[in-house]
Amino acid sequence: MASGDQTPGGGSSKAGWLLLGGAMLLAAGSIGYNVYEGGGGSSAPEAAADGEPSIEQLQAAAEASTNDAGPWSDLAFAHFQKGEFDAAAVAYRRALAIAPEEAVLWSALGETLVMASKRDPLPPEALAAFEKALSFDPQDPRARYFMAAKKDIDKDHEGAIAAWLDLLADSPQGAPWEADLVRTIEQVGQMNGIEVAPRIAKAQGERKPALVAPGSGSVAGEAASSSLRGPSAADVAAASAMKPSEQRQMAEGMVAQLEARLQKEPKNLDGWVMLMRSRMTLGEPAKAKAALDAAVKANPGAAAQLREQAAALGVP
């Protein structure tokens, strides 16, 4: 992670801010921010000869979409992958015109604007996008990460470290991005003479444990079934190599499998929380609410705990 003492706009600074890479994009508990799809659920564009949709095909699918932000998000991510950040920003804005309250799209736009900027390491428009994301979802991890980076740039290194530690404390145990986030904190601490090791240990120790099934005496997610865990590091790597339509299909497939398994293991509280989180990430709040209702019905003794988790996820 680059320190704010470095020259703003330097390539090393920008590389440092993006240290967390694709793993950070799984913070919501699904496959990635580019998995976002509005409630409409449009079909994927026809594949090109090599199986990869062309920009033209993605553009055509997006232009045909009037009430679904998904195709515009797919187009934006395709441009982003090609390093066409200005075009990606245009597409993200079109997606936001359809789904203006989607925090994940605002933070994606903010990151795109950071990458597009050749002078200002965190341009005002990007900061505004991150602030907008946080107004809709105060827990959006990408927005929180970059707002902490802003503190570092402004030479408030202690404030940046504190914000990153808060993000670490809020991250799921064993999250794919955890090691890189810890490394960022360690690097900024070392560069600025700030002791961080005990604070990192404290943040990691303060994280909420996984939910426990009533009367089980053990973590529900591990005790009930190993198949109900979230995406692994290998899943993250595989998803990052996919085209947007494949990533969406992978996410939806994993969520469908999770939902089916919960029908057989309704006492798995971790699984229900994972399902609610995934539904919210996919832009399906009604299905997230249905998952909450099903979880409470199956686990009335844990109703308050489940509703607390649902509220934190923004489930209506």
Helices 197-206, 157-170: crossing angle, 10 deg rounding:
30
Q: Write b or e for each residue in 118-153: b if 16 or more Cβ atoms lie within 10 A of its Cβ, otherwise e.
A: eeebbbeebbebbebbbebbeebbbbbbbbbbbbbb
Ordered by start, the domain boundaries in the chain are 215-316
The per-residue pLDDT for 162 is 97
CA distance 261 to 279: 15
The per-residue pLDDT for 180 is 79
Dihedral sign computed on CA atoms, order 248, 250, 252, 258: negative
Q: Mind spelling out the 3-state secondary structure of 104-150?
A: HHHHHHHHHHHHHCCCCCCCHHHHHHHHHHHHHCCCCHHHHHHHHHH
CA distance 38 to 36: 7
- Could you state, in chain order, the average pLDDT of each consecutive group of 10 residues for the chain (316 residues)? 36 44 36 34 44 85 89 88 91 94 90 88 94 91 90 94 93 71 89 95 78 37 44 49 57 77 87 83 80 93 89 80
From 2.30.30, 1.25.40, 1.10.3470, 1.10.1740, which CATH number describes the 215-316 domain? 1.25.40
The per-residue pLDDT for 250 is 65
CA distance 236 to 26: 8
Return all residues near 228 (Cβ < 8 A) that are at least 6 apart.
221, 258, 261, 262, 265, 268, 270, 271, 274
Strand partners, 212: 219
- Distances from the Cα of 206 to the Cαs of 64, 120, 169, 171, 209, in angstroms? 47, 36, 6, 10, 9
CA distance 214 to 223: 12
Q: Does the pTM of the predicted model rise above 0.75?
A: no
The per-residue pLDDT for 178 is 78
Structure tokens at 270: 């971790």
The per-residue pLDDT for 148 is 93
DSSP 8-state secondary structure symbol assigned to residue 35 = G
CA distance 50 to 29: 31
The per-residue pLDDT for 226 is 44
The per-residue pLDDT for 73 is 87
The per-residue pLDDT for 90 is 97
The per-residue pLDDT for 119 is 84
